[in-house]
Each structure stands twice: as C-alpha cells, then as structure tokens.
Amino acid sequence: MSYKPIHLMINYNKEMRAFINKIKHIGLQNKGIIFGGLVRCDIIGGHYKSEFFKKNLDIEYYWDVTYDVETSYRTIIPNDMDIYFRSEDEVNIFINCLEKFIKKYVGYIEVIKNFNSKNLKYICKNEDTISHTKINIEIKIGNTISYNGIKLKFSIDVIFINNNTEFGSIPYIFEPPFYNLDFLSNIFLIQNVNGVYDIRLSNCSGTPIDQMNYIQRAKVTAVIMNNIINFRTVFIRQLASFNAESINCYRIIKMIEYGWNITNLPFIISDINDFDNKDEEKCCVCLELISVKSELNSDNKIAKITTTKNKSNILHYKCFINYLKTEQRKLYTNQITGEIECRCPYRIPFNFKDCHKNVSYDI
C-alpha cells in the first residue's frame, strides 16, 4: 500500500470571518440590530474588498495581508459583536439558535445575564431601561484523529429592553446608541430589512443628525463613511456623571491604539516629521529630547497637547499614551465638583466631555 499524505490547510482569519458572519446572520435573522465596532469593520472591510476586486487581483492571495497592502484592511476582523433586541424573548430565541449552531462543532457557549450592569450608564442615559447579557462562544475546527484542531472564540454583548419600564411599550422608536453616541463613527446600525442586511444611520444618536431630512442624512452618511474607511472620527459623548471622564478617556485610548485619528481632542497625534523644531524640544514626561533618532520615536509618532500654550507641549507618543493610561486609572477626583478628572501633564483637565462643542454638522 502506498502512502499518500494529506495536508490540512486552515486560514485562521478566513475561518474567523466565516464564523463571525454566521453569528451575525443568526442575530439579524432573529430581529437583532447590530451596532458598534462590528459595523465599522463591515464598512471598512467592505470598501477595501471592493477595491481589491476592482484591481482584478489574484483571489488566491485575498487573505494574505502582505499582498496588495493598499487593500489589506479587506481582512479586518472585529473583536466582538454588540447586538440589540427589543425584548428578552427575542434574546432567548437568538441564544437557542446559537446553541444549535455550535452543537455541530462540539462547541461551548456561556451566557451571563445581568453582566456588568454598573457600566450600562455608558451605553444609555436611562440605564434602568435596558439589560445586558454577555455571551461567550467557542468552537473547534479542523480536528482529526491525530490533530486537535484550532479554537475559534468570540464574545457577544446583547442589549435588550426591560419590558417593565416606560420604554417597554414603545420599543420600536428606541435603538442604539440610545441618544448617547460616543464616536461619530459608531452612528451606523445593521438591520435585516426584507432579507437585505442594511447599514443605516441610527435614529437615536442624540445628535442633530436625528432631525435631518433624507437628503441631509444622505450627505452626512457619505462624509462619515469616508472618514471611517480612513480611520478618522470625532468624539462627541457629552453625558455628565461623576466618572464620565474616566470612561471617556478609556474609550479614547482604546480607539487610538486601534489606529484611529480622533480629530477634535485636546491633543494631536501625528507623524514626527509634521512638527518643526522637534530636535530642540524635550518631552515633558521623560524630559528627553524629541529627536527623530530617539528610540522612543521608533513608531514615528508624536503627541502634542493643546491644553496649554507652553512651548514644551510635545511628547513622545509612547510616553504620552503611558501617561494617559496612568491618569485614567488614577481616578483623580476634584474635591469641589466631586467628579473624576483626567488631567494633562501640566495638571490641566482635558475635559473630553466638552469635545462635542468643536463638531459641526453643517455639510
């Protein structure tokens, strides 16, 4: 008997995308409305996928990010999924469908009800009107007798209306982001409309966009989507609470580390070559020179704070991000207002809650 080797090739990103698409399909088919980061990834991935095919490139290398780097974001994978249902009954149907799906792959599902409810204030101004269920899913693919296969893991944040609240009787006019939008790039939703997965603007963003007519909304849609595919956005959350600035700072750091350019913050992050006299100034955190040759500039980025007019307001990017993370965790409380503040290296509050004042919706 001759020996014939069998080579099992598994492309992780390709399988992960298919896995997420299946979960997304189950949610949309069961009256869910998807919001948040997954929608952004769909917009970005869809754009660069179209650009890839416009070039008539080799489909065999589609999942190779080193092939046609200009369209490499075609392979973008979301970290998790946020989905909204208008009742707990719809949530239960969704969970049942997920259980049937993962059963085919000897999978694992963990459902945590009333998960992290203390942070619902970030999602909704009236957090008592909604509930949060966390779902963790794991399946195994490619396993054989001699090969254990690989695991695919994904988490889902499920938000739904509490039917015993005032919103329980009018759920169809209440949807994410519940009049509490954080970044303008998060204004889009995905919903199943007669079998078509439609990406649209939310009607409950809490911004002037909610009152715009069809033509105005079409124009603003084009502008925001163009910014999204170029990883640009603005921070517009203005909800006031004692810990608002700590939450705001955490979300801003997260977006910056994902590579987003947030254009209305009290600091600017840019390429080191965009700044003049950089070789003559010192970073106010580490007190080392801002120099192109410095190991601290290995990422070729630099930060400039605009909270002060001091000359030395330029920092190494790494120094600034580490400082910002420490400040966010410090939870410094203003003794007069009783509110948490995030302060710049010169001890001046960043006031992220006021960033929305620098945003214009006139297009």
pTM over 0.75: yes
Q: Report, as ranges of residue numbers, the positions in the chain whose pLDDT lies below 50.
A: 168
* Shared domain check, 342 and 227: no
Q: Specify the residue for token string 């007669």.
A: 194
Distance of CA 140 to the CA centre of its chain: 26
Q: What is the pLDDT of residue 300?
A: 81
Number of domains into which the chain is organized: 2
Mutual orientation of helices 12-29 and 88-103 as an angle, nearest 10°? 140
DSSP β-bridge partners for residue 156: 81, 135
- Residues 171, 301, single domain; the answer is no
Amino acid 27 reads G
Task: Give the whole-angstrom CA distance, residue 84 versus residue 351.
Answer: 30
Report whether 111 contacts 88 (CB < 8 A): no
- For 271-315, write each residue's pLDDT tens digit: 887 776 656 788 889 988 887 666 666 678 899 999 987 766 889
Neighbours of 292 (CB within 10 A): 11
Q: Do residues 36 and 82 lie in contact, with contact meaning Cβ atoms separated by under 8 Å? A: yes
CA distance 303 to 313: 8
Q: Are residues 60 and 161 in the same domain?
A: yes
271 and 324 part of one domain: yes
Mark whether 130 and 38 lie in a shared domain. yes
Q: Give the range of the structural domain holding residue 57, as residue numbers without chain letter.
A: 12-231
Same domain, 31 and 58: yes
